[in-house]
Amino acid sequence: MDCSPISPGGAHYIPNTLNDHANWAFNAYYLLHRAAQGASACNFGGVASLVAPTNSTLLEPVGKALTFSDFFSNDLVCERV
C-alpha cells in the first residue's frame, strides 16, 4: 500500500499526528480490501475497529480509484481505538 499521502508533502500529512496517520492507514487498507475480506480487513490485533464515519475519516487511499459508493456502501470506517 502506498503511504505517500501521509508522508511530508502528502495530501493527508496534515494533521501530522500519530492518531490521524494511523486512522488514514487503517481505513485505506480497509477500503482497499473490504470487498474480499469483509470486516476482517479491519482486524489489526485490537488496535482498530469499525465505527460510523465522520468527516475526518473519509480519506481517500491511494492506489485505487474510489467511487462515491466506496465510502458509503457499508457506512463503516476502520479507525484506531
The 10s digit of each residue's pLDDT in 17-38 is 999 999 999 999 998 999 999 9
Q: What is the pTM of this model?
A: 0.76
- Domain span at 46: 4-80
Kindly provide the b/e burial profile for residues 33-64, where b requires at least 16 CB atoms within 10 angstroms of the residue's own CB. bbeeeeeebbebeeebbbbebeeebebbbbee
Average pLDDT of the chain?
81
Q: How much of the chain exceeds pLDDT 90, in percent?
A: 57
Task: Read off the pLDDT band of 55 (50, 70, 90).
Answer: low
The number of domains in the chain is: 1
Per-residue pLDDT, 77: 86
